[in-house]
Amino acid sequence: MKNTENSPVSYMMDPKEQFTVMKEIRKEGLDLTAIYHSHPDLDAYPSPMDVKLAFYCESVYVIVSLLNNGPMIRAFTIKEGNIEEVEIKVIVK
């Protein structure tokens, strides 16, 4: 989705676009299982703003960091302000 903040350091989804996508997900019988974004200049760990905007507690938040010659990819659940890292498994067939 488009970043309505037009910023390299923060993001916000357009509410209308987000509503349309969520309707399509439900219509197709899918689940929102992960949300990802990048941290170009920060570690791959949820920022205070990420925690504040974590409205989908059933989803995993995947963060890609480009810091220190990245990429570093980590995933987390964020529920009621509590952050827990989850394992990422990549299966190549």
- Chain-centre distance for alpha carbon 88: 14
Domain coordinates in residue numbering, the chain: 1-30, 33-86
Spatial distance between the Cα atoms of 53 and 38, rounded to a whole number of angstroms? 15
What is the value of pTM for the model shown?
0.84
Are 83 and 51 in contact by the 8 Å Cβ rule? The answer is yes
Q: Residues 8-55: pLDDT tens digits?
A: 777 888 889 989 999 999 999 999 899 988 888 889 999 999 999 899
Per-residue confidence (pLDDT) for residue 11, from 0 to 100: 80
**Residue of 17, 75, 23 whose CA lies nearest to 45:** 75
Question: Which CATH number fits the domain 33-86, given the four candidates 3.20.20.10, 3.30.590.20, 3.40.140.10, 3.30.930.10?
Answer: 3.40.140.10
